[in-house]
């Protein structure tokens, strides 16, 4: 588990000795009605919940957090891998009654959701909110979640809310080349193999796009020189995601037929280190592309 920090809060991993503090917090919230099976005002129910959640398997960086304000527990949060939709996470949060209306719940929930998107790379995070909890539904919508459906959970009707990863990071990269047709043959093939699609085309350039990012290859009239030298100051290489090791091997094997050579062949596919699976390719114009095999979440 990863400890998360906000301006006012610390979200630290749940511990076995947190049961008493959680019990006191739940007991002070009479508005939150619970069915007897999950009565969180019951000592044994809370102790069992803590044991079960501590023992639940999950990817690194997921699990249960205790939300602390000045070292005092005021809530609990969770992030776990979805059993229904691959690569997505389910999240939840709870802040005790005494601290509602202070913005602390929003601060904690935002930290959990941002951790899922920005650190774990989750494309989507969803949350279940009971139909009879209008305050919770309004809060989730203020966070930016969108209601996409409903389902039964633990014998109650719940709304399903989803938060999608927002475009961030690189908007686009522009490469200037001396041989546009040659660059298009090598880059066009590679981008297409990786699932990118042609995005723009004009007399002296072309671009390919995937998601919110795109790469431009252009023979600009303002270009100086005839060859890219990646060891000089400036762009050294592009690093692009590959779905998995099988796709990496397939593209690497076919690359020489499309103007690419494999670099560091004696150390492939671990030229970047023992835990880094990638292929380093260079085309005839001296441009280098690193293809990184993504590790599955979970």
* Per-residue model confidence as pLDDT tens digits over 230-257: 999 999 999 999 988 999 999 999 999 9
Q: What is the pLDDT of residue 26?
A: 79
C-alpha distance from residue 108 to each of 11, 46, 210, 238 (Å): 8, 21, 32, 35
Q: What is the pLDDT of residue 1?
A: 76
Nearest to 164 by CA among 129, 195, 122, 127: 122
Q: Give the model's confidence band at 36: pLDDT under 50 very low, under 70 low, under 90 confident, else very high.
A: very low
What integer best gives the mean pLDDT of the chain? 88
Average pLDDT over residues 61-73: 91
Q: State yes or no: pLDDT of 222 exceeds 80.
A: yes
Radius of gyration for the alpha carbons in the chain, expressed in angstroms and rounded: 25
Average pLDDT over residues 212-234: 93
Which numeric CATH code is attached to 172-293?
3.10.180.10
Q: Give the model's confidence band at 120: pLDDT under 50 very low, under 70 low, under 90 confident, else very high.
A: confident
Which numeric CATH code is attached to 4-122+131-139?
3.40.630.30
Q: State yes or no: pLDDT of 212 exceeds 80.
A: no
* Per-residue model confidence as pLDDT tens digits over 171-205: 899 999 999 999 999 999 999 999 899 999 999 99
* Per-residue model confidence as pLDDT tens digits over 88-107: 899 999 898 888 889 999 99
Q: CB neighbours (10 Å) of residue 291?
A: 24
Which DSSP string do the residues of the chain spell out, in sequence order? ---EE-SSEEEEE--GGGHHHHHHHHHT-TTS---GGG-TTSHHHHHHHHHHHHH----TT-EEEEEEETTEEEEEEEEEE-SSSTT-EEEEEEE-GGGTTSSHHHHHHHHHHHIIIIIT--SEEEEEEETT-HHHHHHHHHTT-EEEEEEEETTEEEEEEEEEPPP-S--EEEEE-S-HHHHHHHHHHHHHHTT-EEEEEETTEEEEEETTEEEEEE--TT--SSS--TTSSS--EEEEEES-HHHHHHHHHHGGGGTEEESSGGGTT-TT-TT--EEEEEETTS-EEEEEEPPPP-
Return the percentage of the chain with pLDDT > 70, whole number. 93
Q: Write the CB contacts of 271 (distance below 8 Å, at least 6 apart in sequence).
A: 263, 264, 278, 280
**What residues does each domain of the chain span?**
4-122+131-139, 172-293
Nearest to 8 by CA among 150, 108, 82: 108
Q: State yes or no: pLDDT of 56 exceeds 70.
A: yes
More confident residue, 41 or 16: 16
Beta-ladder partners of 75: 67, 95
Question: What is the pTM assigned to this prediction?
Answer: 0.64
Return the percentage of the chain with pLDDT > 90, whole number. 58
Q: State yes or no: pLDDT of 298 exceeds 50.
A: no
């Amino acid at each position: 588990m990863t400890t998360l920090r906000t301006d006012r809060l610390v979200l630290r991993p749940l511990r076995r000795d947190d049961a008493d503090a959680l019990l006191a917090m739940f007991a002070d919230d009479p508005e939150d009605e619970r069915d007897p099976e999950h009565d969180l005002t019951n000592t044994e129910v809370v102790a069992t919940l803590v044991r079960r959640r501590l023992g639940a398997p999950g990817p690194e960086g997921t699990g249960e957090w205790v939300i602390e304000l000045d070292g005092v527990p005021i809530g609990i949060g969770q992030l776990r891998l979805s059993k229904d939709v691959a690569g997505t996470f389910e999240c939840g949060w709870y802040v005790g009654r005494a601290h509602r209306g202070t913005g602390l719940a929003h601060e904690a929930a935002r930290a959990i959701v941002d951790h899922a998107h920005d650190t774990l790379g989750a494309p989507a995070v969803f949350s279940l909110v009971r139909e009879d909890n209008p305050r919770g539904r309004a809060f989730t919508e203020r966070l930016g979640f969108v209601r996409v459906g409903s389902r039964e959970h633990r014998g109650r009707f719940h709304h399903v809310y989803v938060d999608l990863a927002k475009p961030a990071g690189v908007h686009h990269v522009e490469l200037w080349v001396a041989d546009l047709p040659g660059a298009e043959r090598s880059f066009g093939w590679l981008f297409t193999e990786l699932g990118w699609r042609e995005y723009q085309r004009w007399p002296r350039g072309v671009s390919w796009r995937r998601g919110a990012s795109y790469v431009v290859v252009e023979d600009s009239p303002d270009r100086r020189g005839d060859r890219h030298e990646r060891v000089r100051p400036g762009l050294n290489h592009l690093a692009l995601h590959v779905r998995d090791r099988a796709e990496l091997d397939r593209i690497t094997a076919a690359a020489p037929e499309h103007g690419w050579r494999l670099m560091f062949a004696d150390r492939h596919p671990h030229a970047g280190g023992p835990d880094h699976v990638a292929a380093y390719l260079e085309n005839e114009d001296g441009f280098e592309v690193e293809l990184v095999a993504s590790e599955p979440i979970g």
